[in-house]
Amino acid sequence: MKFSNTYIQLSDAFYQRILPSTVPEPSLLLWNESLGDRLKIDQSISQDPLLLAQYFSGNKLPEGAESIALAYAGHQFGGFSPQLGDGRAHLIGEIIDIEGIRQDIQLKGSGPTRFSRRGDGKCAIGPAIREYIMSEAMHALGVPTSRCLAVVATGEDVYRERALPGAVVTRVASSHIRVGTFQYFAAKGDMASLQMLTDYTISRHFPEIDLIAKNKTTENKSTEDKTSTSIDNEPKHRIVDFLEHVINKQIELIVQWMRVGFIHGVMNTDNTAISGETIDFGPCAMMGTYHPGTVYSSIDSQGRYAFANQPNIVQWNMARLAECLLPLVDENDEKALKKIEPLISQFSKNFEQAYFKMCSKKIGFTLDVHTDADNAEEKTANEVNNEVKDIIKNLLNIMQTQELDYTETFALLTQSLDDETAAEALKSALGDKNSNWVDTWITYLQSHKIDFNSAKKLMEQNNPVVIPRNHHVEAILKECENTGKMDKVEEFLHVLRSPYTTLPETKAFQDLPEDGDRYYRTFCGT
């Protein structure tokens, strides 16, 4: 493993230097071979389960690794905590993957730090395997996400409601910089560290910003009527550009969550990665029966992080990031606010456009569809878009009224284009009084000369046939806790890694929960 560590080169204000706790009997439970290959981990290591267990339990650091616990703050369910930080995680370094992307390697459940807040810093086997399963499923579904490299049993119990076998999970992410990281320094009034963090984050995640700024400065210098103001403003304008880039990443992420029915469950600002990756799979779940107000998290009693509220929360989180950046934009608060506020105000419109563009693909359309240019009755693109939106909204309303499963309904819709049995099953599910929706949809495809084969291909790329259904996840976690065997996990992952293809084993994990997940609850696992 070739470590190339940059975050640790920032000042000590950003982290605590601390080693993971040692564990008595580490044993490798799960190893992500394809991810290991992506990280260019030598076979001399990846083929040695005993060595992997030592490295990824924290008992022994690989050569070049440097262990730190990161500092950050965060809004948790709307309440601000000025100091949170890695209370049970250790960032052991960074590796450049085969695509040249810098990836953090972090051990989670690896012992207490000064950020533990009286916690034991440990992780039970259930939450560790949940993160492994869910992150691999999300990756296969095409959702931006952190991933898991390994799960190692520690040979010791951790104590929650009862004694549970302990484990350490290794998380791989393009960074662990969060909105809460910016809040940590903004709350302290540490502008030097805030500027350092911003510069580092731009360099690591959005280097194109500085490239554009450099080109603009060069152009300004070569213009005869250049002014010092136009050049001097570039460093501050890049902060606005940075915020815009982060917002766009968050919109892309939440749209993908909603495409597959994912509910994060705890979208605090300390769980919002600047990279736009899904991070922290605590009380997450997949929506079964469609309802925009679906909540599974046991700690979200007010529905703050409900399925359809996720876009609003991300906008709120981006407003908190914007607040942190204001002093870097302009010394004058009013001027800074004037530059940044439009980005936050525009969020809802930009999200809606991205959301309906995604939804249109789920029913075989693209939102830029046009009628024949020679047709005297040609409709404007906006009119066409609104009609497609109405078709989508009507379907979702029917699904909510009929209490239909989100994934199964869209899978049936996809299959119905060339499968009469699926078409009849779809109409039956929608109900007699709603069967005209199917006729409207088919007529619209035909009127816009959209080939059924092309529509189906588009739908197959956006509507999974299998997801990590909550009841299967729970059954597998329970078996792992009781037996320590990983056979079912590997079988489940084999199916989840091909979510858009029906494999011989797929059917075993497609059945719906008997209660429609009506009483399902998830827990944080800390």
Q: What is the pLDDT of residues 131-180, one digit of tens each?
A: 999 999 999 999 999 999 999 999 999 998 889 999 999 999 999 999 99
CB-facing half-sphere around the CA of 17: CA atoms within 13 A: 7
Q: Residue 132 is encoded by which pair of tokens?
A: 């492994």
Residues of the chain with pLDDT under 50: 224, 226-232, 369-374, 376-377
Distance CA 446, CA 61 (A): 61
Catalytic-role residue among 270, 330, 405, 517: 270
pLDDT, residue 381, reads 65
- Catalytic residue status for 511: no
Distance CA 43, CA 27 (A): 18
In Å, how far are 143, 246, 266, 288, 294 from 307, measured between CA atoms? Answer: 16, 21, 11, 11, 6
Distance CA 220, CA 199 (A): 22
DSSP E strands in 66-216: the ranges are 68-70, 74-76, 79-81, 89-96, 102-108, 147-159, 163-173
Distance CA 265, CA 285 (A): 7
pLDDT, residue 219, reads 58
**Would you call 376 helix, strand, or coil by DSSP?**
coil
Length of the chain: 526
pLDDT, residue 231, reads 39
Q: What is the pTM of this model?
A: 0.93
Distance CA 192, CA 173 (A): 26
Q: Residue 69 is encoded by which pair of tokens?
A: 């616990």
Distance CA 250, CA 237 (A): 20
Distance CA 354, CA 195 (A): 31
pLDDT, residue 369, reads 47
Q: What is the per-residue burial (b if ≥16 Cβ within 10 Å, else e) of 270-280?
A: bbbbbbbbbbb
